[in-house]
Structure 1
């Protein structure tokens, strides 16, 4: 077995594999969704294991890495094996140590081990000893070292807003690089294989392990990974609205809006292809996603189909 995983994590990975297979079997009933949600909410380790299932599904769709190939090879004897069977097999291997999928690194950075965590739909504010203000976004995890003049933070999962006061400094570390800033306001988000930085006031500097550096100024954003940086771009309109508890859309495609909203709502929230291209504008409070769904049904020709509270699809009215 994988020595980097404890008994509880191994058990939850296997349970997540079971639930992923069951919920995508085409034979699921309402009672199954309710039972899955109870399991998901029962312990933080279950939420972590479910996240591994979702990440693995995404990587199976996008990655051509040797690790992915090893999982897909499991389906070789069954040419039409479904995605759910491949993901389930991958999770079992991850728990058993045969797959790895970045094994040690991912477990070492597991949000379960973080100093501060937020659940889905939860946001949390903190103030460091030097006056630096933090806002941890939904489903995020953070380590904090506040014992020095220049505090540092390690973002393990999710998204973080940082406001550094005058004459102070702060450092944020991700798996892709290090961000250093004096007086400034900026947001850092972990993506699949990369990190993003958006600066809303003053500037911040990113340094990669290779020594490459990039200064990002107010109103700019970039993505970076171990190899380098993307081109600097202008921040999206109201990109920092989540720091005020808001979700703002300005003539945005509905499927993009639903994708953003799903980050703040537990369970499954999807948009049917038939309404994906509808456009939406408005300002919504993130602390009441049910109200946002009701507003959609009154402002657009759509209906909200609920199998359970945790399984919602937006379809044509």
Structure 2
């Protein structure tokens, strides 16, 4: 097996880690075992991930390495540990010990190890000790460190909106650079190949690993990676609408709109090329993506082609 796992395998490993911890907790019921069997049989990736879990158990049973034994004891001996701590231990073992294909630094950035996370289509709000509020958008993973009165956030995946009150400051660390802000409202979004900083009020500074920095003011945004900054752009009206549970299209290409909407629902949602250039306008609620799709089919000459509940394509009517 190669050293790079695809997203389905990573998701299956996370789920296998959860099942490993649950079934070995000493509290699993017959219904839990039945639910595990349904999950195991639902997809080849699930069966593969569980095989890694079984290999892990066999390997650990014969190992005497103290650090490995200490982590396993979280499930066997320390039943009072929080569920999140136990799942984190199982995930580390699956990602590092069982597979040997993902290094610890890489595994430590994966979403399931984060202090806070939101599922697909879920949003969460946090209030930090200095009054800073953090809004996690869909499918987001975040670590929080609060020392010395200045919170430091580690964005592992997804997108956050940060609102820093007067006379306070906050830092957001990503794998592409560090963002510093005082009395500012800003959002940070991670992509596969970079990140984006949007400033909605005040000013924020992004600094790359090389030391190169860029300060953005209100209504400005910029995409960057660990090597360079892109062009500074003026923010479009409604670019922060997700913070209010909305998605706004102002003459937007349908293909782009559907790509954004797909972030908020599980499965596969895409737009066929022949209708991707259609223009869409409107304000829609993110908590009901099915209603949004119905509104799109009413407004434009398109229909939904469904292969399964989780595989939907917007095509010409």
TM-score by length of 1: 0.70
What is the root-mean-square deviation of aligned Cα atoms in Å? 3.1
Q: Which runs of 4+ in 1 moved over 3 A?
A: 1-5, 9-13, 34-40, 103-106
Confirm whether residue 106 of structure 1 aligns to residue 106 of structure 2.
yes
The residue that corresponds to 2:145 in the other structure is 145
Q: Deviations over 1:164-219 (max 9, x none)?
A: 00010000000011101100000001112211100000100111221111111111
Deviation of residue 108 (structure 1)?
Answer: 2.2
Deviation of residue 229 (structure 1)?
Answer: 1.1
Deviation of residue 3 (structure 1)?
Answer: 11
The residue that corresponds to 1:80 in the other structure is none
d(CA) in 1 for partners of 2:179 and 2:41?
Answer: 37
The residue that corresponds to 1:211 in the other structure is 211
Structure 2 runs not aligned, ≥5 long: 17-37, 51-98
The residue that corresponds to 1:51 in the other structure is none
Maintained 8 Å contact 1:37/1:310: no
Confirm whether residue 311 of structure 1 aligns to residue 311 of structure 2.
yes
d(CA) in 1 for partners of 2:221 and 2:178?
Answer: 15
Q: Deviations over 1:106-150 (max 9, x none)?
A: 322000110000111000011101110110000000001124311
d(CA) in 1 for partners of 2:151 and 2:142?
Answer: 13
Aligned pairs for 1:204-243 within 5 A: 204-243=204-243
Q: Deviations over 1:61-111 (max 9, x none)?
A: xxxxxxxxxxxxxxxxxxxxxxxxxxxxxxxxxx563xx6xx554322000
d(CA) in 2 for partners of 1:108 and 1:35?
Answer: 25
Match of 1:183, SS?
Answer: strand
d(CA) in 2 for partners of 1:190 and 1:11?
Answer: 18
Aligned length: 242
Q: Deviations over 1:18-42 (max 9, x none)?
A: xxxxxxxxxxxxxxxx9899659x9
d(CA) in 2 for partners of 1:106 and 1:4?
Answer: 11
Structure 1 runs not aligned, ≥5 long: 17-33, 47-94
The residue that corresponds to 1:56 in the other structure is none
d(CA) in 2 for partners of 1:155 and 1:10?
Answer: 18
Maintained 8 Å contact 1:245/1:285: yes
User: Which has the larger displacement, 258-267 or 209-218?
Assistant: 209-218
Aligned pairs for 1:160-309 within 5 A: 160-309=160-309
Say if 1:293 and 1:313 are closer, same or farther in 2 by CA, change over 3 A: same
Say if 1:314 and 1:208 are closer, same or farther in 2 by CA, change over 3 A: same
Say if 1:156 and 1:11 are closer, same or farther in 2 by CA, change over 3 A: closer
Confirm whether residue 131 of structure 1 aligns to residue 131 of structure 2.
yes
